[in-house]
């Protein structure tokens, strides 16, 4: 049996994504997180998607962010791997923190809306509880702002 793009040897669907963030345009001390709305599932999530054949996970994560949000980003810390069943198949999604650098959203066939939200609001809006843990992982990976110099 041949492997399809985004599938590992065990039949696990391999995917990657980012917790996309920016400094708030309203307050330099605040962080905002980008969530995407997928009309096919009517859910809110972090940008992610299946890897192409032989695609490096980070390359795939950055490609998915651009495809789903229209934004380029600078990757930061790896936030971990989330594993779950999707349509009866095991799926593994590797996530990175990624700071937006430029771009503009245009609705597409996969994502019809994005929102930039404070971390608590993003946590509340995320459809899947497993995605909420990534908000905490992102915040723990960011340098502390306003901390006194040692």
Structural domain boundaries enclosing 126: 13-141
In a domain, 5, yes or no: no
pLDDT for position 2: 33
Q: Could you tell me the pTM of the whole model?
A: 0.88
In a domain, 2, yes or no: no
Q: In CATH, what number is assigned to the domain containing residue 82?
A: 3.90.79.10
Spatial separation of the C-alpha atoms in residues 117 and 34, rounded to whole Å = 6
pLDDT in tens, 32-47: 999 999 999 999 999 9
pLDDT in tens, 98-150: 999 999 999 999 999 999 999 999 999 999 999 999 999 999 999 865 444 44
| HSE, side-chain direction, 13 A CA sphere, residue 71 | 24
In a domain, 4, yes or no: no
The region, left, alpha or beta by phi > 0 then psi within -120 to 50, assigned to residue 88 is: left
pLDDT for position 15: 98
In a domain, 61, yes or no: yes
41 contact partners, CB below 8 Å, separation of at least 6: 127
In a domain, 77, yes or no: yes
Domain count, the chain: 1
In a domain, 109, yes or no: yes
């Amino acid at each position: 049996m041949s492997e399809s793009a985004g599938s590992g040897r065990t039949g696990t669907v391999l995917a990657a994504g980012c917790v996309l963030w920016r400094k708030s345009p309203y307050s330099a001390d605040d962080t905002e997180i980008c969530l995407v709305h997928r009309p096919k599932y009517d859910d809110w999530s972090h940008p992610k998607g299946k890897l192409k054949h032989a695609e490096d996970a980070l390359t795939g994560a950055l490609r998915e962010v651009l495809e789903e949000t229209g934004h380029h980003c600078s990757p930061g810390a790896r936030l971990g791997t989330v594993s779950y069943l999707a349509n009866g198949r095991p799926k593994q999604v590797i996530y990175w923190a990624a700071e937006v650098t430029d771009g503009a959203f245009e609705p597409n066939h996969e994502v019809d809306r994005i929102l930039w939200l404070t971390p608590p609001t993003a946590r509340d809006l995320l459809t899947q509880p497993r995605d909420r843990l990534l908000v905490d992982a992102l915040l723990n990976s960011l340098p502390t702002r306003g901390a006194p110099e040692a």
